[in-house]
Chain A
Amino acid sequence: MLAVDVKNIKKTFVTKQETVEAVKDVSFQVEQGEIFGLLGPNGAGKSTTILMLTTLLSITKGEASILGLDIVTKDKEVREKIGVALQDTGIDNLLTGKELFFTTCRLWGYSKKDSEKRTMELLELVGLTEAADRRVKTYSGGMKRRLDLGLSLVHSPDILFLDEPTTGLDPGSRRVLWEEIKRLRDNGVTIILTTQYLEEADELADRLAIIDEGLVVAEGTSDELKASIGGDVITFSFENDSDLKNAKNVLNDAIEDKDQLRITVENGAAKIPSFINDLNKNGIIVSSVSASKPTLDDVFLEVTGYRLEGSAGSDSSNELEVK
């Protein structure tokens, strides 16, 4: 049975001022026991998709099921199976971490004794035992995210939805969270997470869908997506803008990206000399050229026509976001 099966869901918000098609047509399947990533920029419709799948928002059109349970007609049952850490869910700042876990356990229906036990287990699991008796107000961003993750695990859900679990964290804290998420997956929990970080999708997701302007524009494993570009990416830089413009006419398939041209071909390295030859013949001077294996960044550029903000086509993309 599929963990999550989403078929052409759509969400239109009608407000007084305007009608927003937040999610236009999203479909994907998630197998049990995998980490599935939804990668997309701000406003792509990630959170809206998660809210619909977690039964917190109605679906305008389409259908979806979780472990075979229809999310509209079986919403109560679905809620029992899923754990949810939303992007903007509040944490009660005035309570301590321990109190929050205990309260949540009680609300899920555990007895006082079981709640105490589960609280200790979960505090340990997300590494907050030391900070358990401090008010959440004093927690760092990373600690709050771990707390949030822990709270979504109280009832041992089979399927976990995490909306941008690491946004705003420094690379170190992000890694800690990644390890925890992977450990959960290794224990059999299915995880659907959204992210706007390429590196995160690449490192964490077993499979992913790229979502842009409410549409799924690509889906597969990270390697499949990279391979779908076909071959290597050759990047050309030029002395000046007019050379760049002329070169675009010579290399018809090239995509302009910042001050560079990029072209995807098989056997990139071997083809560089002939490209340079063509350009030189047209009086265009190439200032630098390189060939590389495609990255997820290149995939993103290919399917959406633009780069994900903050990424510079390098592995340090995430560090740019932080600071």
Chain B
Amino acid sequence: MESNRSFFVQLQVLTKRMVLRVVRRPLAELPNLIISAFFLFVYDGALGGVFGGTASGTPFDFANGNFINFILPVSIVSASLSGAASGIYLVEDIESGVFKRYQSMPISRWAIILAPMNVGALRVLLQAGLILLIGKFIGADPEVGNVGFLIVLSLAFIWGMGFAGYSVAAGVKSGSSQGAQAATFLFFPAIFLAPTFVPREQLKGWLETAAAYNPTTYVIEGMRSVMVQGWELDILFRGYLAATSFAVITLTLAVISARKATEKA
């Protein structure tokens, strides 16, 4: 029989296999999706009345009359954290020994590592896309028009890949899925040490300082700029810069740690 071992075939086959794994335990997708949707509904319910249309003309009119536009980026950032599943998928394979089986075959190690990243990326796009749809349905209306949704999605994607890289690095380093899971604790500071509920100017003291150092801040602000304010290119640029820098750093760490993991002991 003919045999043709191209990298792309291997990557495609491994990605498909991992998609099957995800599809066969759909419940694992729910928690993050529900939390993200929860943010949207609960914060809109709790704060939309104060900072929404009725705030018009007051100092609290930062949402420009539509609090959903303002809070949607928080939900989207939360949804993009689902990219962190990449690390968990990879570590599951290491723990179960599937990883070793692949190593005993002539498979490109990059294909082995990229497959879970691919699935993480798909997951981010799906979850963030779904939240965007829900947002649109309940009244999100980007100031720059519908292209704003695409900008938000693209930022979410880059940001999500950053978390995918982070989780792969943390998971491989700890060598256990608990390790990969524990690494997700970073999400709380990432989301809440940021201008989550009000603009940065209204944060006080240490939180303002922490937010200034938190890249999430710039990602959320970038998303918000197109949702609430209009074309603010420098804010948008900072958002992309923060997301991209984070992704480049964590993906590099992921590659380094994964290279170690695929080396012979």
Residues of chain A having any CB pair with chain B under 8 Å: 13, 54-58, 76, 79-80, 84, 86, 88-95, 99, 103-104, 106-111, 114, 118, 135, 151, 155
Select one of B9, B24, B93, B104 contacting A84, CB under 8 A.
B104
A-B contact count (CB 8 A): 87
Given the complex, which residues of B lie within 8 Å of A86, measured CB to CB? 97, 100-101, 104
Given the complex, which residues of A lie within 8 Å of B10, measured CB to CB? 107
Knowing A107-B14, A118-B1, say if A79 contacts B105 (CB, 8 Å): yes
Q: How far is the CA of A116 from the CA of B4 in the complex (A)?
A: 15
How distant is B165 from chain A, measured CB to nearest CB, in Å?
Answer: 24
Residues of chain B from 1 to 24 with CB closer than 8 A to chain A in the complex: 1-5, 9-10, 13-14, 16-17, 20-21, 24
Binary contact readout B87-99 vs A (1 if CB under 8 angstroms, 0 otherwise): 0000001011111
Select one of B13, B21, B99, B264 contacting A107, CB under 8 A.
B13
4 other A-B residue contacts (CB within 8 Å) besides A99-B20, A114-B2: A57-B265, A76-B106, A90-B95, A108-B106
* Interface hub of A79, A88, A89 (most chain B Cβ within 10 A): A89
Q: How far is the CA of A99 from the CA of B100 in the complex (A)?
A: 19
Knowing A84-B104, A110-B3, say if A58 contacts B98 (CB, 8 Å): no
Q: Which residue of A lies closest to B1 (CB)?
A: A114
Establish whether residues B17 and A90, one from each chain, have CB atoms under 8 Å apart when the complex forms.
Answer: no
Within 8 Å of chain A (Cβ to Cβ): is B204? no
Knowing A56-B103, A94-B24, say if A89 contacts B97 (CB, 8 Å): yes
Q: How far is the CA of A91 from the CA of B92 in the complex (A)?
A: 11
Given the complex, which residues of B lie within 8 Å of A135, measured CB to CB? 24
Given the complex, which residues of B lie within 8 Å of A13, measured CB to CB? 265
Given the complex, which residues of B lie within 8 Å of A76, measured CB to CB? 106
Within 8 Å of chain A (Cβ to Cβ): is B107? yes
Knowing A92-B17, A118-B1, say if A106 contacts B104 (CB, 8 Å): no
Binary contact readout B17-49 vs A (1 if CB under 8 angstroms, 0 otherwise): 100110011000000000000000000000000
Q: How far is the CA of A114 from the CA of B9 in the complex (A)?
A: 14
Q: Which residue of A lies closest to B92 (CB)?
A: A90
Knowing A54-B104, A56-B104, say if A110 contacts B264 (CB, 8 Å): no
Establish whether residues B96 and A90, one from each chain, have CB atoms under 8 Å apart when the complex forms.
Answer: yes
Interface of B (DSSP majority class) = helix
Given the complex, which residues of A lie within 8 Å of B99, measured CB to CB? 90
Given the complex, which residues of A lie within 8 Å of B107, measured CB to CB? 107
Q: How far is the CA of A111 from the CA of B97 in the complex (A)?
A: 26
Establish whether residues A92 and B13, one from each chain, have CB atoms under 8 Å apart when the complex forms.
Answer: no
Given the complex, which residues of A lie within 8 Å of B4, measured CB to CB? 109, 111
Q: How far is the CA of A80 from the CA of B21 in the complex (A)?
A: 28
Establish whether residues A56 and B264, one from each chain, have CB atoms under 8 Å apart when the complex forms.
Answer: yes
Q: How far is the CA of A155 from the CA of B104 in the complex (A)?
A: 12
Knowing A57-B264, A99-B20, A110-B1, say if A88 contacts B104 (CB, 8 Å): no
Given the complex, which residues of B lie within 8 Å of A54, measured CB to CB? 104
Given the complex, which residues of B lie within 8 Å of A55, measured CB to CB? 104, 264
Residues of chain B from 184 to 235 with CB closer than 8 A to chain A in the complex: none
Establish whether residues A109 and B3, one from each chain, have CB atoms under 8 Å apart when the complex forms.
Answer: yes
Establish whether residues A80 and B106, one from each chain, have CB atoms under 8 Å apart when the complex forms.
Answer: yes
Q: Which residue of B lies closest to A103 (CB)?
A: B17
Select one of B16, B25, B98 contacting A91, CB under 8 A.
B98
Mind listing 10 A-B residue pairs with CB under 8 Å?
A: A55-B264, A58-B265, A86-B104, A90-B101, A94-B24, A107-B102, A108-B5, A108-B105, A109-B4, A155-B3
Establish whether residues A109 and B97, one from each chain, have CB atoms under 8 Å apart when the complex forms.
Answer: no
Given the complex, which residues of B lie within 8 Å of A94, measured CB to CB? 20-21, 24-25
Q: How far is the CA of A118 from the CA of B2 in the complex (A)?
A: 12
How distant is B262 from chain A, measured CB to nearest CB, in Å?
Answer: 11
Select one of A80, A89, A108, A111 contacting B101, CB under 8 A.
A89
How distant is B94 from chain A, measured CB to nearest CB, in Å?
Answer: 9
Q: How far is the CA of A103 from the CA of B10 in the complex (A)?
A: 9
Q: How far is the CA of A80 from the CA of B96 in the complex (A)?
A: 24
Select one of B3, B24, B97 contacting A90, CB under 8 A.
B97
Establish whether residues A106 and B100, one from each chain, have CB atoms under 8 Å apart when the complex forms.
Answer: no
Pick the 5 closest A-B CB pairs, nearest first.
A90-B96, A90-B97, A109-B3, A109-B5, A90-B98
* Interface hub of B3, B4, B9, B105 (most chain A Cβ within 10 A): B105
Given the complex, which residues of B lie within 8 Å of A114, measured CB to CB? 1-2
Establish whether residues B106 and A56, one from each chain, have CB atoms under 8 Å apart when the complex forms.
Answer: no
Given the complex, which residues of A lie within 8 Å of B21, measured CB to CB? 92, 94-95
Q: How far is the CA of A91 from the CA of B100 in the complex (A)?
A: 11
